[in-house]
Structure 1
Amino acid sequence: MAAFAAGFISSIAGAGGMIVLPCLLWAGVPPVQALATNKCQSVFGTLSSTLNFFRKGHLQLRPLRWALLYALTGAAIGTLWVQRIDAAVLDQVLPYVLIVLAGYFALSPRIADEDTPPRVSSAVFDPLVGGGLGIYGGAFGPGMGSFSAAAFAGLRGFNMRKATASTKPLVLVANVSSLVIFIAGGHVVWSLALSMAVAQIVGARLGSNLVITRGAALVRPVIVVTTAAIALRLLLR
């Protein structure tokens, strides 16, 4: 059930990992193994929603190619880092970042299903956002889709449907890059990862279909509520 909900929410607002990861930790899975297992099962859901957006014509990969390369490289760096350094620092910073993100979506002018003029060029956006989110995604991960959706909408002027679709391959390549390193280190709990993968795929497919059919009307409130709830949960731990 947690994996289904994660796939559904992640395909819309990009925060599904904040459902699965706490469940794994509460079940007694060690932190690094929990991160690795969450990465493994989330790859299936992200791949499902990416393919769904692509097949229905809402995703163009060519303009994202450099951002994807930076995300792939950054995720490898982040994954190597988190296996050597305590990730508790991220836990302390994340709630406040998420509060800012939720506030941005709640208080900013309503974003219609139309593109707006970009604030930065792709030459600036790709290494800073692609690489930066890749590092974060490799080191921790949950909320990466929310961050990238906000960045695509706020900095590149993408409409919400396009921004949400564009996050999927970014998160996918980061997760795959990170997963390869986690697998090499023997950190994935395969029995849990594979059993959750099917539920992830189903949830992601349903969620991405809702984004395609309802667009900004659905995405905006889900991002606000999800990110605020995540921040509150982390602050009250």
Structure 2
Amino acid sequence: MIDLSLDILLLLIAAGFAAGFIDAIAGGGGLITVPALLLAGVPPAQALATNKVQGVFGAATAAFSYARGGLVDLRTQGRAALLAGLGGVAGAALVSHLPTQALRIALPVILIGIALFFALKPGLNDLDRVRRMRPALFTASIVPLIGFYDGLVGPGAGSFYMIAFVSLAGYGVLKATAHTKLLNLFSNLGGLLTFALVGQPLWLLGVCMGVAQIAGAALGARLAARIGARLIKPLLVVTSTALALRLIWQLLAS
């Protein structure tokens, strides 16, 4: 583990808590933790790997909280979770072999589109709507594709899961959030499995931040389950827009 002062460690733990809270509701927790790790002096490859370590804690907590609340049936989602995990493994394994620059250029535009979709589309609430894709096809195609992206790039994966569940699977906003966290957990686990072999994550730091993620994710999932779309929609718009702006800033600065 790199040498971190106590105040920097406490700031990283606080970042983990904030990320867990935001991520459990709308995704985008990496918008907080990855820059925090980089500012603390963690090398980029280790920052991405360590981010996967701590992110697994928050995603697992949120997924469990939603499942306990009856918003997702874990017994029927095994195949989707497995495919998300395999997608995460494949994406992380190919991270150094595929040209991701074009994707990073297109990603801010896609995220702004997602923000506009949730901000402007009428009738987005917690009620299920018309399904536009059969569940088997959705599981076999969309789920591993987003899992692959999560392992390859990461930021925005939760937003992509959300819009897919709402626009293609016909889920209400709260139900889509619950299923998003389950699949996010497994695509994170898949990415972590690969990064553990090649990315040398800082395990102790990741676990410390992960414990804070548990507290933040539990609080976020509890609030989301209580308030539903009235909380999830505006926070999703804000996080998608903020992530898009950060990616644009990174492109201009590079």
Aligned twin of 2:212: 199
Shift of 1:129: 1.4
2:234 aligned with 1:221: yes
CA distance in 2, matches of 1:89, 1:195: 34
For the 8 Å contact 2:27–2:239, the answer to whether it is kept is no
In the alignment, is residue 71 of structure 1 matched against residue 46 of structure 2? no
Contact kept in structure 2, 1:3 and 1:197, CA below 8 Å: yes
The answer (yes or no) to whether the contact 2:94–2:152 under 8 Å persists in 1 is: yes
- Aligned counterpart in structure 2 of residue 148 of structure 1, from 158, 161, 185: 161
Aligned residue in 2 for 1:15 = 28
1:188 equivalent in structure 2: 201
Q: Contact 2:45–2:199 at 8 Å: present in 1 too?
A: no
1:53 to 52, 60, 66: 66
Aligned-residue offset at 1:30: 2.2
Q: Is residue 102–residue 228 contact of structure 1 (8 Å, CA) maintained in 2?
A: yes
Runs (5+) with no aligned partner, structure 1:
none
Partners in 2 of 1:83 and 1:209 — Cα distance?
38
Per-residue CA deviations over 1:6-43 (Å, capped at 9, x if unaligned) read 10010000110111112222333222211111000000
Amino acid at match of 2:44: P
Correspondences of 1:1-12 after superposition (within 5 Å): 1-12=14-25
2:162 is the alignment partner of 1:168: no
TM-score by structure 1 length?
Answer: 0.94
SS in 1 for 2:126: coil
TM-score by length of 2: 0.88
Matching residue within 103, 110, 123 for 2:136: 123
CA distance in 1, matches of 2:56, 2:102: 25
Shift of 1:174: 0.8
How much has 1:88 moved relative to structure 2? 3.8
Q: Secondary structure at the match of 2:77?
A: helix
Following TM superposition, the consecutive aligned residue runs of length 4 or more in structure 1 with deviations greater than 3 angstroms are 83-90
Superposed displacement of residue 186, structure 1: 5.0
Indicate conservation of the 8 Å contact 1:16/1:143, yes or no: no
1:81 is aligned to 2:94: yes
Residue 85 of structure 1, CA deviation: 4.5
> Size of the alignment, in residue pairs?
237
Identity of aligned residues (%): 45
1:106 equivalent in structure 2: 119
User: 2 CA distance for matches of 1:90 and 1:43?
Assistant: 24
Q: How far does residue 87 in structure 1 lie from its aligned partner after superposition?
A: 4.3
1:233 aligns with 2:249: no
Q: Which has the larger radius of gyration?
A: 2
Answer yes or no: is 1:44 the counterpart of 2:57: yes
Task: Confirm or deny: 8 A CA contact 1:67 1:129 kept in the other structure.
Answer: no
- Per-residue Cα deviation, 1:176-223 (whole angstroms, up to 9, x for no partner): 111112112252012321221111111000000011100111101110
Q: CA deviation at 1:63?
A: 3.7
Contact 1:35 1:140 in 2 (8 A): no
The alignment yields a C-alpha RMSD, in angstroms, of 1.5
